[in-house]
Structure 1
Amino acid sequence: MANKRPVVALTGASGYIGTNLMKKLTDHTDVIALSRNGENKEDTEHVNWRSCDLYSMADAEKGLEGADIAVYLVHSMMPGAKLTQGSFEDMDVILADNFAQAAKKQGIKQIIYLSGIIPEDSPSLSRHLRSRQEVDQILRAYGVPVTTIRAGLIVGPKGSSFPILKKLVKRLPVMLLPKWTKTETHPVALPDVLNALDKSVEDEELKGRSIDVGGPEVMTYRSMMLKTAHVMGRNPKLVDLPFMTVNLSRLWVSFITGAPKETAYPLIESLTHPMTSHPENEVPGISRGSITFEEAAKDALEQEAASKAKVNKKKPNLSIQQDVRSVQRIVIPDGKDANWAAQHYVEWLEDRLNPWIKTTVDENKNCRIGFSAPAVELLQMNYSHERSTSTRALYYVTGGRLTDSRKNTRGRMEFRQIPGTNEAIVAIHDFMPSLPWFFYKYTQAKVHLLVMAMFSRHLKRIEERSVNRAITLE
């Protein structure tokens, strides 16, 4: 009897790296391909597509059902809702926490996570690298063995970093070089990254490890620009501008390349760090790629040209959902948990906005928020006993004047504690407002941000008083 093929759940299966990795995985595994629009994909012999929104823990649990191994290729630099309030770091926390808890519940034997090389001697990391590190810690928090593949700049036809580099070379006859262009990095070709991810599947010796991967060359960003220019047949003039700050560089790169600031800004901030492979984190046969930067750049440009020739320029007719995602990070005072924070929020809201706002909580923890005079119910939120724990309080938005009850099928609010910390994420997902979009965006949405900022300051004061009392008792 033939050995049963392992089943791999692949997040981001329709994305740049996921699509290419799936081709390798299907040689020896069966793949559960997870995508937000998986229902529109066609299954094949070794690929089963599933729709999965990782902002929903229930979706994550269904997505990982039946899998042995899970590959995590997710990040949240681009907004996923029509209106997104919050930082990519905080949204990454939700995605990783849902995934890690679902992996634990479904008996996943190994998580494989693609991250970035983390500088070991840097006093402070960029937002992007801090987030990658925090996601790594969250994925490991529930006991499922994690293999982290940490790569520098990945050279391929799509993705984020290399296309930005290519556009700079293509569009600038004179290239202004800030100080960060002299920073060393360890570029790696996409096929070498795919090899590292593929070889990690079911490798017992790699479970629990962080593995750095890079190509055969350590290079500066300046030298990568020159080699990219050579491949493209260009000869730009280079001018050193050591006084150009990272903030100016972010604006300059985003403007020249047209890259969204949500993508360009965090990436440029990371370029000040040397991102080179550490010998103690290397594994023979996995860490060192064989494809040179110039070979990888040439192949990436050829693939891009071939892809453009095949593209159907007719844009699909996609309906835009008028939904909202709002995510903020708060401090939970010592000795308290996420459920306390949720209940305290409702009490604080009435106390802080008295006499205009009235809140009620029934014996099942269901909340009602409204104006006190005249009596108008603004929001109804029902507490989910089934989906809540001491570290997560989940409420479904079920009614009220501020929500569109006909369209609001998945609207919810949650208070979620970040594993191993005294911080929590407060998030609203898939909320469908009743106000016309323009008015909502500049009224209710702004008020929510203001209220959450006030609540965050309130919790910090409680925490500071607690710390001061502890010091006094000592």
Structure 2
Amino acid sequence: MKIAIAGASGFIGKALIAELKGAYSIVGLSRSHYTHSEEHSSCEWRNCDLFSLLDAEKALAGADVAIYLVHSMRPSAHLSQGSFEDFDLIVADNFLRAAEKNKVRKIIYVGGLIPQNQKQLSKHLQSRQEVENVFLKGSIPTTILRAALILGAGGSSFQIMTRLVQRLPVMLCPTWTSTPSQPVAVGDVLKSIRYCIDTPETDNKIYDLGGPDILSYRDMMLKVADMLGKRRHLIQVPFLTPHLSALWVRLVTRAPKDLINPLIESLRNPLMVRPDHQLSIPDHKFMGVDEALRSAIGSYRGDQKPHAFKAPQSPKHEVRSVQRMPLPEGWTAKDVAEEYMKFLPVMQPGFMKVEVKDRWVYFCNAFPYFRLLVLEYSPERSWGHRELFYVRGGLFSKKSGRGRLEFREVLGGTACLAAIHDFRPRLPWYFYKVTQAYVHLWVMKQFARHLARPLEPRRKLG
């Protein structure tokens, strides 16, 4: 059986390769080229940018089971415009479409534990739930594994907690550190994934993963301090907002803002396993917190692992911009793309005009006449619900084989994503960031407002 792992270069991905090697044929998908000899010998590595549907289709070729361990909280380009929720959505949608095209037999997704009270979900947990919905509405049998804090030496949450304990003799603990949680050992997550690979009865099911212990983040920090032989004083205070506490956590741990802020926001919710949704594996007992922490601390090397919080290197001076828009009733992505071409000249009368000649689209300055952006429509990669244009040049853009603009329907046709990928501006980088980049965001916001107004229904396209 061939197992493809998206996010194979991450904390869980590397551990999963070690767990599965020898029993399955493993394909590791990663944006970065890997050079570690041991990892190369354990699986076949395929370079894959999941923001590219074409890359995803090639990467999942021949796979029987596809495991999804991806999140998009970290920047994916030199300049990333948009929310991590929309980045997550477009990547998951690509993964599902590629899996369906390659006739993958099963998808396993490891996401976040969802609290029973879903009215005040953090953006991070809302995003995890949206990704679940993408997979569950697809045609491929999918198993969802939900986990709260995963305890393991390579995990970012564990490393943040351990660095706080190592560096601060006295800590002011905000209220979120007292929220109850049910952590799970990384070894138990791996066993759960392996069990679901081999057990058809888990298809189209949602399971919660958690160890036997329920405790707070503050309790875990005290346990870590005790195991490290350090005397620490944790003082509960009510006045530290999530924003302020995220700031001091970033200063102490040196972890980036785009990682810390969503995690802390999620810790405001109690994250506990629902007994009727807990995964039970025959002849396997989930680890308690003490055993899981001792195992993680035994493998942890602290500041000797500075790469733990580093995002993959992105090509210099490349742009990714993703904006979510309402999809008018009865419309398709093709309708939205056509409306966008009509909207630009109306929004900027006398300045902008759009010329369409066969498969070529020219965004032009009216007077004096010159072409600002040249797009080539790709009928081979467009299907009505997803319309793709390649960036081929113009005054504002360098020629690029991968630069592209796309419109796609998501969430069952209730929303549309407008996305620019791998765009390389011709303007000097700093000048681009303070001019064209802001103008693009403003235009997209105006277009989203335009789509939200009552518009004529369009004929449904196939």
For the criterion TM > 0.5, the same-fold answer is: yes
Aligned partners of 2:211 and 2:288 also within 8 Å: yes
State the alpha-carbon separation in 1 of the partners of residues 282 and 386 from structure 2: 38
1:427 aligns with 2:427: no
State the alpha-carbon separation in 2 of the partners of residues 455 and 306 from structure 1: 48
**Offset at residue 283 of structure 1 (A):** 2.6
State the alpha-carbon separation in 2 of the partners of residues 289 and 95 from structure 1: 34
Unaligned 5+ segments in structure 1 are: 1-5, 467-474
Aligned partner of 2:27 among 25, 32, 37? 32
Q: 1:377 to 1:40 in 2, by over 3 A?
A: farther
> Could you tell which deviates more after superposition, 202-211 or 283-292?
283-292
State the alpha-carbon separation in 1 of the partners of residues 42 and 234 from structure 2: 49
Q: Which amino acid aligns with 1:414?
A: E
- Identity of counterpart residues, as a percentage? 43
Cα displacement string for residues 225-280 of structure 1 (whole angstroms, at most 9, x for unaligned residues):
11111112122212111232222222232222221110000000000111111111
State the alpha-carbon separation in 1 of the partners of residues 135 and 368 from structure 2: 48
Q: Which amino acid aligns with 1:404?
A: K
The aligned residue for residue 375 of structure 1 is: 369
Q: Which runs of 4+ in 1 moved over 6 A?
A: none
State the alpha-carbon separation in 2 of the partners of residues 41 and 395 from structure 1: 37
1:140-219 matches, within 5 Å, as 140-219=136-215
Q: Which amino acid aligns with 1:420?
A: G
1:13-32 matches, within 5 Å, as 13-32=8-27
1:443 aligns with 2:435: yes
Aligned residues: 452
The aligned residue for residue 127 of structure 1 is: 123
Cα displacement string for residues 373-416 of structure 1 (whole angstroms, at most 9, x for unaligned residues):
000101011111111112111110011111112xx120001111
State the alpha-carbon separation in 2 of the partners of residues 45 and 224 from structure 1: 36
Q: 1:255 to 1:44 in 2, by over 3 A?
A: closer
The aligned residue for residue 451 of structure 2 is: 459
1:252 aligns with 2:244: no
The aligned residue for residue 262 of structure 2 is: 266
**Offset at residue 81 of structure 1 (A):** 0.8
Unaligned 5+ segments in structure 2 are: 458-462
3-state secondary structure, aligned to 1:462: coil
Aligned partners of 1:199 and 1:286 also within 8 Å: no
State the alpha-carbon separation in 2 of the partners of residues 306 and 180 from structure 1: 24
**Offset at residue 343 of structure 1 (A):** 1.1
Cα displacement string for residues 413-432 of structure 1 (whole angstroms, at most 9, x for unaligned residues):
11111131421111100011
Q: 1:306 to 1:419 in 2, by over 3 A?
A: closer
Aligned partner of 2:336 among 330, 335, 341? 341
Q: Which amino acid aligns with 1:368?
A: Y
1:329 aligns with 2:324: yes
Q: Which amino acid aligns with 2:406?
A: E
How big is the alpha-carbon RMSD for the aligned residues of Structure 1 and Structure 2?
Answer: 2.2
State the alpha-carbon separation in 2 of the partners of residues 286 and 51 from structure 1: 36
Q: Which amino acid aligns with 2:443?
A: V
Q: 1:280 to 1:319 in 2, by over 3 A?
A: closer
State the alpha-carbon separation in 1 of the partners of residues 134 and 264 from structure 2: 25
3-state secondary structure, aligned to 1:273: coil
**Offset at residue 446 of structure 1 (A):** 1.1
**Offset at residue 121 of structure 1 (A):** 2.0
The aligned residue for residue 230 of structure 2 is: 234
Aligned partners of 2:151 and 2:186 also within 8 Å: yes
**Offset at residue 61 of structure 1 (A):** 0.6
Aligned partner of 1:223 among 188, 211, 219? 219
The aligned residue for residue 404 of structure 1 is: 398
